[in-house]
Amino acid sequence: MWLKTATLAVTADVLTPPLGVTTMWKVNDPDGVDNFLYRVETVDNDSLPHAISIYLSQGTAAVTRFDAALSGGSGVASVTTITWATGVVGGSNPGTLEDAGGGIFRLKLVLTNNASGNTSLTVALRPADITAANTGYVYASGAQWEQASAVSDYIYTGGEVASRLAYTPLDPLIKMRSYRDGVTPGPWREASLGSIGQYGKEVRWNRCGQFKAPGALFEFEVSDPVVIRINDVRVNVP
């Protein structure tokens, strides 16, 4: 669960990001107090990396700060500040900022635990930095936590901006449909890409029908973020 300090104002579904299925929250520090949105998760006392990311978009705040820390033993921390006017990223052990398009950026960072007793992960978003006099808001969405060495593509988690362990597709599916006139789609045809450990899986669709000039148009959808390769299309020309 995400928590907030007393006077922080959070408004859901304000700005649409390029994620396809979620909307962004407006996170506002209205009074110049050190206000922040935060979440605490339990982690194992191990030596594994934790990849953390969040989508951000400029509001009225001049500087936004994002903190992430493993604590309980010999702590590991990251502080990232973003100066919106210049796009400069600063802080201590900061993350990197990736342009996601449409004025939206994805902040990415990795914290590696050290088996010293750290069993708590805390992340905090300060829309207007930590300076008490600063006010303003920022847009945020798609926070993601993975036990992984690098941040992966965003994976929708059913409407909640939530921390979670790395996602592993169990049986990814691929769908295909064709547009025989280049405009009107046909029905979807679905097939499995193979379960975990099943390599060399081949999907083939036969009897795709006849197509009008200038040619065939095919559309594909994959249920999970896995790599696919399209080898060839064979056509019988009368």
Q: Do residues 128 and 199 share a domain? A: no
Q: Do residues 80 and 31 share a domain? A: yes
Task: Please check whether residue 157 lies inside any domain of the structure.
Answer: no
Q: Do residues 85 and 20 share a domain? A: yes
d(CA 13, CA 229): 36
Q: Do residues 14 and 123 share a domain? A: yes
Q: Do residues 134 and 173 share a domain? A: no
In the chain, the number of structural domains is 2
Task: Please check whether residue 154 lies inside any domain of the structure.
Answer: no
Q: Do residues 132 and 183 share a domain? A: no
Task: Please check whether residue 115 lies inside any domain of the structure.
Answer: yes
CATH of the domain at 69: 2.60.120
Task: Please check whether residue 152 lies inside any domain of the structure.
Answer: no
pTM above 0.95, yes or no: no
pLDDT, one tens digit for every residue, the chain (238 residues): 788 888 899 988 777 665 554 578 899 999 878 899 999 999 999 999 999 999 999 999 999 999 999 999 999 999 999 999 999 999 999 999 998 888 889 999 999 999 999 999 999 999 999 987 899 999 998 888 888 888 887 766 554 444 444 444 456 788 888 887 878 888 888 888 876 666 678 888 888 888 777 777 888 888 776 777 888 777 777 6
Task: Please check whether residue 160 lies inside any domain of the structure.
Answer: no
Strand 9-15's sheet: what is its strand order?
Answer: 9-15, 24-29, 136-146, 49-57, 104-112, 96-101
Which residue range is the domain that position 215 belongs to?
168-238
Task: Please check whether residue 161 lies inside any domain of the structure.
Answer: no
Q: Do residues 185 and 140 share a domain? A: no
